[in-house]
Amino acid sequence: MDALSQLAELILENAEFVVPVIAIFSRVSLFVFMLPGLGEVNIPVRVRLSVAFLLTWMLVPMIAPTIDAQSLTLANSTLLILKESFYGFLLGFAFRVMVFGLQITGSIISQSMSLSQIFGEGITTEPNTTMSTLFMLAGITLAITMDLHIMAIGVFVGSFETFPLGTSPAGDETAYWVAQRFAGVFSFSLALALPFMILNFVYNLILGFLNRAMPQLMVSFVGMPAITGAGIFLLVLSAGSILMLWMSEYNSAFSEFPGIIP
C-alpha cells in the first residue's frame, strides 16, 4: 500500500507529463485491440499490450509536446483520455468492421448451403459457422501476408494530424460515418454472397416443383445433399474472387479517415 501511495503521489506531482502519455496510450491500445490480426482473441493479451506500449513509446516524443499540459486539470485530463479512447475505437472500428463483413458473408453462405447449424470455435469470442470461420481466417491471414496491418499502423500514426490530440469529435459527422460504414459493409457482404443466395433460391424453387409433382417423395433427403454439394462446388470457384474483392474493399478503408472531423 505504501508503494501505491508513493506512486500515486508521484503521478499527481508530474501530471503534466503523465496525462498526455496516458491519453496517447488510450488511443493506441484501443486501436491495437481492434485491429485485424493483432487484435484477435487468439493473440495473447501481453503481446497486444506490448505492441501498444511500443507504439506509445515511439509516439510520445512527437505528440506529447503538442498539448498544453500546464492547463490540465482533473476534469480536463479525464475528458482528454475519453476523447482519445473514442478516437482509438473509431480508427480500429474502420478496419475491424471489414472482418464483421466476412463473418456476415460466411453466415449467409452457410445458410444457403444448409450448413448454418454446424458451429465451432473460431477466431472470435462467440461460436461461428464453418464458413464464417473459414472466410475470417483466410481474410485476416491474407491481410497480414500483404502487410496491411503495418499500413494500418501507418494510417494510425498519421491520424494524429487529422485528429490532433485533445480535439473534440464532431458528433453528427461521426455518427453518420459509422452508420454509412455499417450499411456499406452489410450491403457489400450481401453482394459477395449473392451467387449462393441465387443458388439457394433456384434450389428451393426446384424443390417446390418436385414436392408438387411427387408429394410422396422425401425431397429433403434428395435436396439437402444436392444443395450442399452444389454450394461446395460454387465455393471452390468463387472463394478466390470473394477474397480479392474483400481485399480491395479493405484497402479502401485507408482513405476514409480525413473529413470525419472538421
Q: In terms of pTM, does the model score above 0.75?
A: yes
Residue 53: pLDDT band with limits 50, 70, 90: confident
Count up the domains in the chain and report the number: 1
pLDDT at residue 121 in the model = 56
Residue 260 included in any domain: no
Convert the pLDDT of each residue in 215-249 to its tens digit: 766 766 777 777 888 888 888 888 888 888 888 88
Residue 219 included in any domain: yes
* DSSP β-ladder status, 119-120 and 128-129: antiparallel
Strand partners, 46: none
Q: Which residue has the higher pLDDT, 181 or 123?
A: 181
Tell me the C-alpha to C-alpha distance, in Å, between residue 194 and each of 166, 189, 232.
44, 9, 15
Range of the domain at 116: 2-255
pLDDT at residue 262 in the model = 37
What's the rounded mean pLDDT across residues 71-80?
72
Residue 212 included in any domain: yes
Residue 262 included in any domain: no
